[in-house]
Amino acid sequence: MTFLQKTSGLIVSAATFGTIHYLFLRLPASIGILLVALLASLMVILLDFIAPGLGAAAVVGDAVASINFSEVLLEGMLGLLLFAGALHVTLSDLRQEWLVVGVMATAGEVLSRAVVGLGFSWPTGMPIVLALLFGSLISPTDPVAVFGILWQTNLPND
């Protein structure tokens, strides 16, 4: 599969998932598209179970395995996502509320790390230091998802 075919497939998949989410689910975008992607994955597994001769899971697995996700994410998508999120920030409003935003972001991040770390340590028996490290790795907030949720809530701009 060529680079153009992979890129086209990802764009068509994202558009399809977004359309299904918009027409039927109407959840917050990050949750809805995640559920649609999960449903698509389950459909590929079901198709492979029903008709194993098609090899649908192998084809999709090979396509996914051929993508270098760290390179695509860090060198391609992350900059665009952060830029898209930053376009919606009004700097004058941020300057006026910098203390509240800073305290809430810091406290929320520390609380999220503690909850995830302790919640992961308890059922797995992992040492608390490693569990808190794990919590630190997965707790940072996705700014694009936050902007999307805030935009959907129609908060006042004043």
Tens of pLDDT, residue by residue over 81-124, are 777 767 777 888 888 888 988 888 888 888 988 998 999 898 88
- Looking at residues 34-38, what average pLDDT do you find? 89
Is 70 exceeded by the pLDDT of residue 12?
A: yes
Confidence of residue 27 (pLDDT cuts 50, 70, 90): confident
Percent of the chain with pLDDT over 70: 89
pLDDT, residue 145, reads 65
76-80, 112-116, 117-121, 134-138: which has the minimum mean pLDDT?
76-80
Are the CB atoms for 31 and 38 separated by under 8 Å?
no
Tell me if residue 41 falls in helix, strand or coil: helix
pLDDT, residue 39, reads 92
Whole-structure pTM value: 0.53
pLDDT, residue 156, reads 60
Are the CB atoms for 138 and 116 separated by under 8 Å?
yes
> Around 50, how many Cα atoms within 13 Å sit in the side-chain half-sphere?
6
CA atoms of 126 and 114, how far apart (whole Å): 14
Q: Return the higher-pLDDT residue of 64 and 23.
A: 23
pLDDT, residue 79, reads 75
Pair of tokens at residue 152: 């959907």
- Looking at residues 43-63, what average pLDDT do you find? 90
pLDDT, residue 108, reads 85
pLDDT, residue 45, reads 92
CA atoms of 84 and 78, how far apart (whole Å): 10
CA atoms of 3 and 9, how far apart (whole Å): 10
Confidence of residue 2 (pLDDT cuts 50, 70, 90): confident
CA atoms of 87 and 143, how far apart (whole Å): 12
Residue 146 contacts by C-beta under 8 Å, 6 or more apart in sequence?
85
